[in-house]
Amino acid sequence: MKRYLLAIVAVLFVPYLLHAQANPGHLKIGLVNIKTLYSDGADVAANRANIQANLKRHLYFVDRLSADGVEFVGFPELSLNGYHFSNNMTWLTLSDPEIQTLQDKAKAKGIYVSFGIAMKDADGKKWNTQLVIDPKGKIIGEHRKIYLTKEKGFTDAGTEHKVFEVKGMKMGIAICADGSDPNNIKKLVENGAQIIYGPHANTTGGTVAGWYNFRKSWGGSEGLIAQLKVYAALHNHAGLYNSEFDPPMTKDGNTGWASGSWFIGPDGKTLAQMPTSTQRGESKEFVLIWNVPIPK
């Protein structure tokens, strides 16, 4: 019996302990620009199938990045549902099996995973929500989008600026247009955030260059991030699959999302960035990894 219990402990906690001991003083973040299918069509079964296809894509990237030592894998806004709203939206709850599957995967790999859902809460209210799961499989972060755009009329607007710890580093989330109001970022910093994580779903002309221009006020020595002296990790949905990442189909129509990912340091300098492009055909899936120092 004692051996049996020890074996269970090893299976449950060894992945977490190994990652906790590795890469001291830093948090290795992987930003995934994913292409998604939508879940707001008239056919409920098709919506569920699309969510399952998106889930499979998430699991693929978590497996791939965790094998490279990534400790935090981030997916963009509404990544599990796909960013598209209508009265036919298939809403997810925190008890749905897709959420549990990602919790189990984070626990198995001993890493943090963040993703976006169209969420219905216990009171029946609906939200554009970004979740963060810790290496033990628990939901430790839940941000409800504040500054609504295309989801206006379909979701409520969040009001909270929560901050939570990721490997000892305090993180705040600004979902896409949340970052267009500097006050949202300032409130996160006032609440102790040391890094701002910004998952996006943005078109901006369907090009990477267009998206960087959309967020240009964040970078540079006079930019928002330099003023607040924090780190930032921003990324977006992709319009096209990328042959480097085992795409699920060969025929690929461009959904128009701009792609783009960007790490910014507390001095406003670019730490890492997806190569820019003015060509819509370059708005592909992409993975950007950076080892962020954990402020003391």
Tell me the DSSP string of 52-99: HHHHHHHHHHHHHHHHTT-SEEE--TTTTT-S---TT---B-TTSHHH
CATH domain 27-293 topology? Nitrilase/N-carbamoyl-D-aminoacid amidohydrolase (3.60.110)
* Whole-number Å distance between alpha carbons of 147 and 217: 17
Averaged pLDDT for residues 121-150: 98
Residue 42 pLDDT:
98
Q: What is the pLDDT of residues 213-222, one digit of tens each?
A: 999 999 999 9
Of the candidates 87, 83, 67, the one whose C-alpha atom is nearest the C-alpha of residue 116 is 83
User: Residue 249 has what pLDDT?
Assistant: 80
What does DSSP say about strands 261-264 and 270-273: parallel, antiparallel, or unpaired? antiparallel
Task: Provide the CA 68 distance to its chain's centre, in angstroms.
Answer: 18
pLDDT in tens, 147-180: 999 999 999 999 999 999 999 999 999 999 999 9
pLDDT band (50, 70, 90) for residue 19: low
- The mean pLDDT of the chain is 94
In tens, the pLDDT along 79-113 reads 999 999 999 999 999 999 999 999 999 999 999 99
Confidence (pLDDT) at 251: 85
Residue 126's CB is within 10 A of a number of other CB atoms, namely 17
- Judged against a pLDDT cut of 70, whether residue 5 lies above it is answered with no
Q: Which residues pair with 273 in a beta bridge?
A: 262
Q: Where are the domains of the chain?
A: 27-293
Q: Is the pLDDT of residue 20 over 90?
A: no
Q: Which token pair is 294?
A: 């954990």
Tell me the Ramachandran region of residue 4: left when phi exceeds 0, alpha when psi lies from -120 to 50, beta otherwise: alpha
**pLDDT (mean) for 70-75:** 99
pLDDT of residue 2: 47
Report the candidate in 276, 239, 279 with the shortest Cα–Cα distance to residue 260. Answer: 276
DSSP code of 150? Answer: T
Can you tell me the mean pLDDT for 55-69? 98
| Residue 173 backbone dihedrals phi, psi, to 5 degrees | -115, 135
Crossing angle of helices 2-21 and 97-109, rounded to 10°: 80
pTM strictly above 0.85: yes
Distance CA 181, CA 37 (A): 29
Pull the structure tokens for residue 29: 């973040």
* β-strands 231-235, 261-264 pairing: antiparallel
Residue 52 has pLDDT above 50, yes or no: yes
Contacts for 65 with CB less than 8 Å, ≥ 6 apart: 30, 32, 73, 287, 289
Angle at CA of residue 60, ends 57 and 65, nearest 5°: 125
- As a whole-number percent, the residues of the chain with pLDDT over 70 amount to 93
Residues paired with residue 289 on neighbouring β-strands, in sequence order: 30
Half-sphere exposure of residue 142: CA atoms within 13 angstroms, side-chain side: 13
The per-residue pLDDT for 3 is: 52
Q: What is the tens place of the pLDDT at every residue in 194-253?
A: 999 999 999 999 999 999 999 999 999 999 999 999 999 999 999 999 999 999 987 899
